[in-house]
């Protein structure tokens, strides 16, 4: 597909001294108002070198490039050169590119196979996989897909919270009030009950905290009974987690969690000692980060037990040595901002120049309408319940509306789960939001079901077209004169913009950039659908319009796939 910014820069560079084509390309803009052209070039920067007023410079450039066949029209407006691309050349180029590439449309190779790690989801073992985990899970999955689409070699890591003092509490609670049969029957809900009870009882029996600490210390030393209980809790939890991941269509390359790095921490402590970074404070060992505007980082408690920060440093060192990553991306809530700043600074102080390649992608928190979620108090909404309810309600809507579908259960799953994912990815990730059933399951407006329905509508048009749809695959059958109307051209421009939008979303670690673009694409297709008669008698016109329908369908499907969503053919 022609890079029009690049071509425009080359054309202008022939008539401008003192600026390279690369510099000019960086200056070329896309006007918000389409009446001002498809592209615009501001001439303010040239005033000093050419010693002329910017409007005069713009007028000279406009006159010199106006005859180039790539342009339909060139205008000088004040200090800008406004350029309208030849619709015929543009539309044909876009449609040909999409129909040739099919499911590869939107992909690029800017990553050149460089290794990238994306750590996401990372729920805590023996605790609920609740609605709060959806943010890391689906944002991380989309970032993983965006980076793969950009040509990076991505490793997906689920850094399970499978270590720490909470396991001392869990084992303590299980020994006092537990029942093996209950855990086998409903692992997470039962273990949550024990964990909640522990925090209720510790209010009046503070000695339970000491008991839990002692149990965790035995676990850290590999004591058989504690280790077996911990492994059992981990195995049972993973069974439940994987059921949810299967519903979301998410897979991981590694489940190496906190426990995986427990034997790698002594080396980190030695490295910190050798660099003279460790200090003693009230029996504990810390790294003083106050000179860098941060509170001290606690590396080891006074009882000798380790902390998250030690494990995270060990994990980063292991990943660099094992994967030699180009980027090590962590999709973790903004509550952990200071934690990430601290351990990344420590890695820098250890002398590792790759410290900067560890990237924390923060996101806002989810709260319930009745207040903040709390695992300790058992106030959570299970993610599996959210997904099941979304699927069930979608099934009822399909029945009520008499939707034409080959498989009602499959469509309900695609649309219901897609609605939850799309709603999650439609807003800027850093914003906090309140979880609401009504909003998640509202299928009107700029929602996942709306975009999926648009894809199904395009599929329906192509089915109804019969043999003409197959002919639209051959670009030699397409006459762009039939797809140069205002609605067709706007649709083609949004399809054209998809590959760059994918890059922008990936580089900003912001799936909502892509989500908004897919909504715009769907709305544009629906305008084209309503404005144009597609299945007309004129065969050449029909085939040409069907080619644009196919291109839009492919673009929407590929965009949804990068969000982790499916695109139903019937709906």
Beta-ladder partners of 130? 382
Contact at 8 Å (CB) between 491 and 525? yes
Q: What is the rounded CA–CA span in Å between residue 389 and residue 395?
A: 10
Other CB atoms within a 10 A radius of the CB of residue 431 amount to 11
Other CB atoms within a 10 A radius of the CB of residue 491 amount to 29
Q: What is the rounded CA–CA span in Å between residue 455 and residue 449?
A: 10
Coil, helix or strand for 285?
strand
Q: For the packed helices 134-149 and 408-425, what is the interaxial angle rounded to 10 degrees? A: 90
For the chain, the 3-state helix, strand and coil shares in percent, each to the nearest 5, are 60, 10, 30
Decide if 399 is catalytic.
no
Strand order in the sheet with 39-42: 39-42, 80-85, 71-77
Residues sharing a CB contact under 8 Å with residue 523, sequence separation 6 or more, in sequence order: none
Question: What is the DSSP secondary structure assignment for residue 503, as one 8-state letter?
Answer: H
Q: What is the rounded CA–CA span in Å between residue 171 and residue 125?
A: 12
> Annotated catalytic residue: which of 127, 320, 545, 550?
127
Phi and psi angles of residue 249, each rounded to the nearest 5 degrees, phi first: 70, 35
Contact at 8 Å (CB) between 199 and 157? no
> Annotated catalytic residue: which of 87, 92, 130, 553?
130
Helix (H) or strand (E) holding 329: strand 327-331
Quick one: which of 470, 569, 563, 469 has its CA closest to 518?
A: 563
Could you list the beta-strand ranges (E) of 110-212: 115-119, 153-157
Q: What is the rounded CA–CA span in Å between residue 211 and residue 309?
A: 24
> Annotated catalytic residue: which of 87, 133, 327, 471?
133
Decide if 15 is catalytic.
no
Decide if 301 is catalytic.
no
Q: For the packed helices 539-563 and 408-425, what is the interaxial angle rounded to 10 degrees? A: 70
Q: What is the rounded CA–CA span in Å between residue 548 and residue 552?
A: 6
Helix (H) or strand (E) holding 296: none
Other CB atoms within a 10 A radius of the CB of residue 228 amount to 10
Q: What is the rounded CA–CA span in Å between residue 196 and residue 374?
A: 10
Residues with active-site annotation: 127, 130, 133
């Amino acid at each position: 597909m022609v890079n029009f910014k690049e071509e425009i820069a080359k054309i202008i560079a022939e008539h401008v001294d003192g600026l390279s084509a690369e510099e000019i390309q960086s200056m070329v803009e896309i006007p918000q108002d389409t009446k001002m052209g498809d592209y615009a070039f501001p001439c303010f920067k040239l005033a000093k070198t050419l010693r002329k007023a910017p409007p005069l410079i713009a007028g000279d450039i406009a006159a010199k490039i106006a005859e180039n066949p790539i342009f339909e029209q060139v205008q000088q407006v004040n200090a800008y050169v406004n350029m309208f691309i030849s619709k015929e050349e543009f539309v044909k180029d876009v449609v040909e590119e999409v129909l040739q590439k099919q499911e590869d449309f939107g992909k690029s190779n800017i990553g050149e196979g460089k290794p990238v790690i994306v750590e996401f989801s990372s729920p805590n073992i023996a605790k609920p996989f609740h609605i709060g985990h959806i943010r890391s899970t689906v944002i991380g999955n989309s970032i993983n897909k965006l980076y793969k689409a950009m040509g990076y070699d991505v490793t997906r890591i689920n850094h399970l919270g499978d270590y720490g003092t909470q396991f001392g509490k869990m084992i303590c609670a299980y020994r006092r009030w537990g029942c093996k049969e209950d855990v086998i029957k409903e692992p997470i809900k039962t273990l949550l009950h024990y964990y909640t009870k522990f925090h209720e009882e510790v209010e009046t029996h503070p000695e339970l905290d000491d008991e839990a600490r002692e149990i965790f210390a035995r676990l850290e030393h590999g004591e058989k009974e504690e280790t077996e209980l911990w492994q059992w809790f981990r195995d049972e939890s993973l069974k439940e987690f994987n059921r949810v991941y299967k519903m979301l269509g998410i897979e991981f390359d590694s489940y190496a969690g906190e426990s995986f790095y427990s034997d790698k921490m002594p080396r980190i402590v030695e490295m910190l000692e050798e660099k003279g970074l460790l200090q003693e404070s009230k029996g504990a060992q810390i790294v003083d980060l106050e000179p860098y505007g941060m509170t001290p980082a606690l590396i080891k408690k006074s009882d000798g037990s380790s902390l998250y920060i030690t494990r995270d440093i060990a994990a980063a060192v292991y990943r660099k040595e094992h994967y030699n990553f180009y980027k090590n991306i962590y999709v973790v809530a903004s509550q952990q901002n200071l934690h990430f700043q601290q351990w990344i600074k420590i890695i820098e102080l250890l002398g590792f120049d790759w410290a900067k390649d560890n990237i924390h992608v923060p996101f806002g928190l989810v709260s319930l309408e009745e207040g903040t979620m709390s695992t300790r108090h058992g106030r959570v909404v299970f993610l599996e319940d959210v997904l099941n309810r979304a699927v069930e309600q979608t099934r009822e809507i399909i029945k009520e509306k008499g939707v034409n579908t080959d498989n009602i259960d499959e469509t309900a799953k695609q649309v219901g789960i897609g609605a939850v994912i799309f709603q999650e990815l439609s807003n800027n990730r850093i914003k906090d939001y309140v979880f609401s059933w009504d909003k998640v399951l509202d299928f009107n407006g700029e929602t996942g079901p709306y975009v999926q329905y648009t894809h199904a509508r395009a599929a329906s048009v192509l089915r109804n077209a019969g043999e003409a749809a197959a002919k639209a695959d051959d670009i030699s059958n397409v006459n762009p004169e039939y797809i140069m109307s205002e609605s067709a051209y706007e649709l083609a421009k949004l399809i054209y913009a998809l590959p760059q939008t994918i890059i922008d979303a990936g580089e900003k670690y912001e799936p909502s950039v892509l989500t908004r673009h897919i909504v715009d694409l769907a709305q544009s297709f629906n305008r084209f659908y309503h404005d144009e008669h597609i299945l007309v008698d004129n065969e050449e016109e029909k085939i040409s319009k069907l080619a644009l329908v196919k291109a839009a369908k492919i673009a929407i499907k590929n965009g949804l796939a990068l969000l982790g969503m499916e695109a139903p053919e019937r709906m």
